[in-house]
Amino acid sequence: MTSHAQTPGTIGPNSITRMAQALSLQQGDAVAARIFEAAGLAHHLAAPPEQMVDEKDVTALHQVIREHLTPEQAQAVCREAGQLTADYLLAHRIPRPVQILLRILPAGPAARILLAAIARNAWTFTGSGQFEVRHGPDLTLRIINGPICKAVRADMPVCDYYAATFEHLFRKLVHPDTQVQETACGAMGAPVCLFEVRWSTKTATEKAR
């Protein structure tokens, strides 16, 4: 198991900028502007942040998105934002030689290397929360006290942004058929947000690695 915790509640700017981009793409600039205004984040839309942002901004943005959009619309926006974040990381944060190596390796070892890197930098997306990786018969990722669901109460998991980011990275670097599903969520009252990671050709040998 790998874990990482960060005390100061700051998060990378992708959590804001990619949400703005996804909102504009799917709902239009006017809706994006109304949502950012309602969340008290119009300044982030006018001047997209380039440094770490307060995790409270991320919490407020997700809360307002869930209030202004249908569950289906909110899910679609958050998933697109997650994919855009993963594309940014692939283009700017994960060195090309590392990407080549991960694609060559079998899925099991590649997943371990990728998740070790994600865990080292987990404070950039969990803020004051915690990120854990649990290897075993099944590969699961856990976010404890994450910012996305802090002010949201729902009957279904709401951390689509995280699920899509993980899934897109895994599909590009580990296995193209990877699926990441959030099976427990703080918005539903669960103590942790739990993400199950699977790929279709995963063998018993790969699981045990």
CB 186 within 8 A of CB 149: yes
pTM over 0.85: yes
CB 48 within 8 A of CB 57: no
Residue-level pLDDT at 201:
61
- Distance between CA 52 and CA 64 in Å, rounded? 21
Angle at alpha carbon of residue 163, lines to 45 and 35, rounded to 5° = 25
Angle at alpha carbon of residue 41, lines to 186 and 155, rounded to 5° = 25
Domain 2-208, architecture per CATH: Alpha-Beta Complex (3.90)
Residue-level pLDDT at 137:
86
Compute the half-sphere exposure of residue 24: CA atoms within 13 Å on the CB side of its CA.
11
Per-residue pLDDT of 48-59, as tens digits, reads 999 999 999 999
Residue-level pLDDT at 104:
98
Residue-level pLDDT at 191:
96
Given a cut of 50, the residues of the chain with pLDDT beneath it are: 1-7, 202-209
Residue-level pLDDT at 136:
83
Domain ranges of the chain: 2-208
